Structure 1
Amino acid sequence: MIFKNNPTRREWLGATLAVAAASALPLNAWAQRKYPQQPVKLIVPFAAAGAIDNITRTVAQQMSRELQQSVVVENRAGAAGNIGAAAVARAQPDGYTLLVGTSATHGANPSLFNKPGYDAFNDFEPIAYFGSVPNVLVVHPQKGPRNVAELVARAKAEPGKLTYASAGLGTSLHLAGVMFERASGVQLTHVPYKGGAPASVDLMGGVVDMMFDTVAVSLPLVQSGKTRALAVASAERHPSLPEVPTFAELGFKGVEAGTWAGLFAPKGTPADVVAELRRASDAALADNGVRTSLRGMGVQTVSRSGPAFREFVQEEIRKNAQLVKAAKISPE
């Protein structure tokens, strides 16, 4: 700062403040940088290497490019997803700890557990829907019926005789069976197993008559002739099973079930952060490489972000509450 003649005290003070303001600009600019300024953590409330984990890691890799920041996936399994969901519900709402919610945490669990540790609808801000792996009804290739019409006829002739396996009480595989019973007016006997794998083994061995399982798991068994697919529980035919009709095509409305996943932030996350997360998620899901990878996992993607995703979650909670009640499952 250059002065003419001798500077006054006021001029010296003004010059000092100007220098101080100029030197503070880099710090202020750094502090006001747009989100994110540090790695973003996605909590997957299930074990690694499962369907939800694989979907998440595929999307997260592309999201990190969109956000120009690391997106880290952390598995926090337990209590059918409730442990991870509750942890995120209590996390600081700053956009750095997010939840990959699912058909369990934001569908069935609110009705299956008296105290899941979180409010699925009110404790989260829905960001974006990743996609779903629909269930498919499969039977024994030789002993099972050739189509759904034949299955329904057998079931109505002998109510309660036909059995269907599932991965456990209250799972999407179990509730898919409840949907089918309600839509077709038949009475089946549910046989719960501790996981889908032993249920599949008994189906192939002829111990049980049928089961609903995810397309991702069933596909290799169907292709190898170890099971036969009768119908897909989704709104549209699955690209990996183009010859298999949907239940709706066969006249059974409302039989749509599967495993879905989506991104959630803790309630109270700033609107600009939510908007940036939605932008990054939507861009990642629109990437051709991501879409190809998800299709390879049997995932069907639907554009569902923001308010549309919130409405979807609300309907999932309502629908599952009805199914749990119809199945006479007492909350834990």
Structure 2
Amino acid sequence: MRPGENIMNKILKAFVAAAVAVAGLSSAVAQDGARAVTLYVPYGAGGTSDVMARILAAKMQTILPRPVIVDNKPGAGGRLAVGLIKNMQADGSAVLVGLPAPITVAPHLYAGKLNYDMDKDYVAVAKVVKTGFSVAVPASSKIQTFQDLVAMAKKNPNKLNYGTAGVGTIPHFVGHLIAKSAGIEWTMVPFKGGSGMTTDLIAGHIDVAIDLVPDHVEQAKSGKIRVLAVVGQHRAAALPDVATLTELGVPGIELENWQGLFVPKKTPAATVIELQQAVEKAVADPAVKQQLARVGLEVAYQDAAAFTGFVKADADRWSAIVRDSKISVD
């Protein structure tokens, strides 16, 4: 599904057997009155959020007194799942894997058009991981550095293009912010997901691609693409030799693609704490950290209180970004 899919699928296969075993356990436990914890992923199988959820579920299963399984509910850029999970039983059995696109960006990009309100419908459990974005060109490109990209774009306004996973996606906003901060004009080319975009990038059909770091790592290491910069607070562990935009003289675009857990609003506080503590223990395990790092994800644990504040701040930031960009999905 995504450009990092080959690496992720190798890891995903390692968890399929465990996931199936856990699913089998759920029926037996349910007979005793306990409900399995289901991590609902708002995107399809094989993507970064799906792999993260399966790694986390496998470890949480050993911590909690009930099974932990994963269910994918893709659709509408993640918004479908967010609108569904809010109405599920508030007993800790339904847990949403949330990301900024549907949680903190969509409420501003689709203002008045969503069937959910994060403040009214959900309670934050814990922040789990984060990753940055990367700016890449084909290996055959004459653009060797980010400075080359800026110079070429300034010399040829609107001639250079960049691919993203679609209009209104975070990479689209990243491209807009780069243009604003670097003083360039370039054209966004929307794709339906990242896989086709990376294929076209490698073939040289587009000049640049902006995507999640995990989705560029394998192709970069195999020499098929060249990553010019990463977007984030610091360099990506998976691409340690690639500088951040801030290091390259383009500050203020320290966006990250975080992942965290949420439960329906009326979930008991004790249950929220139980889930939070299970996440904390799970991501503290060195083996889990290593598994996540292999797919370009960095543990960024926050407890419920800290994560609630983080989500509020992220939503406020995206409100300003969406408003100032004038990007519309209408």
Give the TM-score normalised by the residue count of structure 2: 0.84
Name the Cα RMSD after superposition.
Answer: 1.8
Question: Do the aligned residues in 1 keep the contact of 2:167 with 2:329 (CA within 8 Å)?
Answer: no
Aligned equivalent of 2:131: 133
| Aligned residue number for residue 197 of structure 1 | 195
Which residue in 1 is equivalent to 2:58? 61
- In the other structure, the counterpart of 1:52 is 49
Aligned residues: 297
Which digits, 9 at most, give the CA deviation of each residue in 1:185-228, with x for residues without a partner? 22211111122122222222222221112222211211122111
Cα shift at 1:331? 4.6
> In structure 2, do the counterparts of structure 1 residues 144 and 200 end up closer, same or farther at CA, with 3 Å as the change threshold?
farther
Distance 1:180 1:122 in 2: 34
What 5-or-longer segments of structure 2 have no aligned partner?
A: 1-32
**1:4-153 matched pairs, under 5 angstroms:** 37-113=34-110, 114-153=112-151
Distance in 2 (alpha carbons) for counterparts of 1:176 and 1:96: 35
2:323 is aligned, of 317, 322, 325, to 325
% identical aligned pairs: 35
- Quote the residue 2:210 is aligned against: 212
Tell me, in whole angstroms, the C-alpha distance in 2 between the residues paired with 1:178 and 1:45: 25
Task: Work out whether residues 73 and 81 of structure 2, in 8 Å CA contact, stay in contact via their aligned partners in 1.
Answer: yes
Q: Is the 8 A contact 2:233 2:255 kept in 1?
A: no
- Give the unaligned 5+ runs of structure 1: 1-35
- AA matched with 1:140: P
Q: Name the CA distance, whole Å, in 2 between partners of 1:198 and 1:96.
A: 36
> How many angstroms apart in 1 are the aligned matches of 2:134 and 2:327?
23
Contact preservation (8 Å) 1:105, 1:120: no
Q: CA offset at residue 258 of structure 1?
A: 4.5
Q: Partners of 1:144 and 1:304 in 2: how far apart?
A: 42
Query: Structure 1-normalised TM-score?
Result: 0.84
Q: Which residue of 1 aligns with 2:240?
A: 242
User: How far apart are 1:149 and its partner, in Å?
Assistant: 1.8
Structure number, greater radius of gyration:
1
Q: CA deviation at 1:317?
A: 2.1
Q: Which residue of 2 aligns with 1:180?
A: 178
Shift of 1:282: 0.7
- The separation in 1 between residues aligned to 2:299 and 2:249, in whole angstroms, is 24
User: 1:172 Cα shift?
Assistant: 2.1
Distance verdict in 2 for CA 1:207–1:325, change over 3 Å: farther
